[in-house]
Chains A and B, each alone.
Chain A
């Protein structure tokens, strides 16, 4: 009898563990299936946002650009070059170079440190392969500063389907970053970033296309800015305020969804719209909405207008002024993690050069774009202002962003 009971208990235990294993397997399977299905709708926006026709490789072109950003005590400018060339009918190569020359005297630099200058060089190489209605691309990227070295690679695939009315896409990226601190030879940290994305682009009418794209990003490692500090009330100092280094979590996971639409107006002009919603594990939530308008004037000119509004909530470990030192496990006073909004007004003009001014049989364009961005911070005060600690005026600034570029199609 006892033996029978033991057998029953053993059988029940085995059944229980099998059931648990089954449940575990099912949940893993469920996750893998939903991930695979998520990816299967992918393929599209990433590589070929404007795919209104069957899959084709982009035109051969070279773009040379000068860019400038000036605002909030920062001046950043430099050149950039983008080259795209078909090696064969089905293979295309891209190369990209970008330089930032930075001169910084921003509000948080001036309040705790000295103005500085630095350079950032970035290079990218990519290859695209077209097979029937599918485009696959592989891209490597490197960015180099005195105190930050980043490398990443990404893979994307897009596919036209449903009578070429639908384009689906997916992609993933991996990035590795080495972080240093100038003036501190011992300091050495690193972080990794993983990205996975998917999109669908759909022709809705003969004048309207819409797309939906999603992207999940996971960061792991040292995510602080090694120079930035937080401030806290400190009665032991004459100023009444003390400073300590920021401390961020070692991980950050985020998810973004973007809905876009393009509409062809009857008099040959185009309207663009997008809305993006973002949230992350630091409790930041943001939305941005943009409306664009492109209007040709004659055969030679094309005007562009843009309005964009962005707003975000602050990270749960952000504070403009902590009550005391080591007030919580994680500490941040980076204004990019604070509650703020900004508004952009943009204007652009493109001029198609006459044949007499173009190189050989190629077609050339000259473009100028100007964006004016106004930032308003709702919980970041300017420590350089009067009013006493914690009662200074809220910070805000505006920036002018200029891009002048020359494009040659050959």
Chain B
């Protein structure tokens, strides 16, 4: 399992470090085609203060932690 993760990470690393140049891939969504993605309704961090509270509520009641994104980061409580 961990070897698979390391290999996947390695592959992604190579792709990201070379900017996909070695694979001859061009960015396929042009800047002028991104107006839908730039719409505020698509923003996962549209309400950052609410996201922080959700993360805090779950952090204190579930064993899972990590990979929450910017608004997570631990409870700091008992």
Residues of chain A at the chain B interface (Cβ within 8 Å): 34, 37-38, 40-41, 45-50, 52-54, 58, 63, 65, 67, 69, 80-82, 96, 98, 100, 120, 122, 141, 143, 145, 147-148, 150, 152, 154, 156, 161-166, 168, 173, 175, 177, 179, 193, 195, 197, 200, 203-207, 209, 213-217, 225-226, 254-258, 260, 262, 264, 268-270, 272, 276, 278, 280, 282, 284, 286, 288, 294, 296, 302, 310, 312, 315, 336-337, 342, 348, 350, 367, 369, 371, 375, 401, 403, 405, 407
Which residues from chain A contact B62 at a C-beta distance below 8 Å? 286, 288, 310, 312, 336, 342
**How many Å lie between the Cα of A282 and that of B64 in the bound state?**
11
Contact of A197 with B29 in the complex, beta carbons under 8 Å: no
Select one of A50, A205, A214 contacting B29, CB under 8 A. A205
A280 touches B76 (CB 8 A): no
Shortest beta-carbon distance, A285 to chain B, in Å? 9
Within 8 Å CB of A161, what residues of B? 16, 19
Mostly, the B contact residues are loop
Chain A neighbourhood of B57, CB < 8 A: 69, 371, 401
Which chain A residue lies CB-closest to B63? A284
Encode contact with A along B33-62: 1 for CB under 8 Å, 0 otherwise. Answer: 110111101111111111011101110111
| Contact residues in A for B53 (Cβ distance below 8 Å) | 65, 67, 80, 401, 403
Which residues of chain B are near A163, meaning CB under 8 Å?
A: 26-27, 30-31
Given contacts A48-B70, A286-B64, 16 further A-B contacts (CB under 8 A): A34-B9, A38-B6, A49-B45, A52-B38, A65-B49, A152-B74, A156-B70, A173-B73, A175-B74, A195-B66, A203-B37, A216-B66, A262-B44, A264-B37, A278-B63, A401-B53
User: Most chain-B Cβ atoms within 10 A of its Cβ — which of A141, A179, A288, A336?
Assistant: A336
Q: By the criterion CB–CB under 8 Å, are A312 and B27 in contact?
A: no
- CB pairs A–B below 8 angstroms (30 shown): A38-B9, A41-B9, A49-B69, A50-B44, A52-B37, A52-B42, A54-B31, A65-B53, A82-B48, A82-B52, A122-B76, A141-B76, A145-B78, A162-B16, A175-B74, A179-B78, A206-B33, A206-B34, A256-B66, A270-B41, A278-B64, A278-B66, A286-B64, A288-B64, A294-B46, A371-B54, A401-B53, A401-B54, A403-B50, A405-B49
Contacts of B74 in A (CB 8 A): 152, 173, 175, 193, 195
Is B42 a contact of A337 with CB atoms below 8 Å? Answer: no
A256 close to B76 (CB less than 8 A)? no
CA distance A294 to B9 in the complex (A): 32
Within the assembled complex, what's the spacing in Å between the Cα atoms of A56 and B53? 24
A49-B44, A50-B44 in contact; A256/B9 too (CB < 8 A)?
no
Partner of B67, one of A65, A257, A264: A257
Which residues does chain B contribute within 8 Å of A268, judged by CB atoms?
39, 41
- List residues of chain B with CB within 8 A of the CB of A310: 58, 62, 64
Count chain B residues whose beta carbon lies closer than 8 angstroms to a beta carbon of A: 54
Residues of B within 8 A of A69 (CB): 57
How far does the alpha carbon of A63 sit from the alpha carbon of B28 in the complex, in Å?
37
In the complex, the chain A residue whose C-beta lies closest to that of B69 is A49
Among B20, B60, B62, B67, max chain A CB count under 10 A is at: B67
Closest CB of chain B to A328's CB: distance in Å? 19
Pairs of residues from A and B, 8 with the lowest C-beta to C-beta distance, nearest first:
A163-B27, A143-B76, A215-B66, A256-B66, A52-B37, A150-B76, A37-B13, A256-B67
List, in ascending order, chain B residues with CB within 8 A of A216's CB: 66
Take A264-B36, A405-B49 as given contacts and tell me if A312 and B16 are in contact as well, using a CB distance cutoff of 8 Å: no
Given known contacts A150-B76, A256-B64, A40 and B17 CB-to-CB distance under 8 angstroms: yes
CB distance from A391 to the nearest CB of B (A): 26
Contact B63 A336 (CB under 8 A): yes
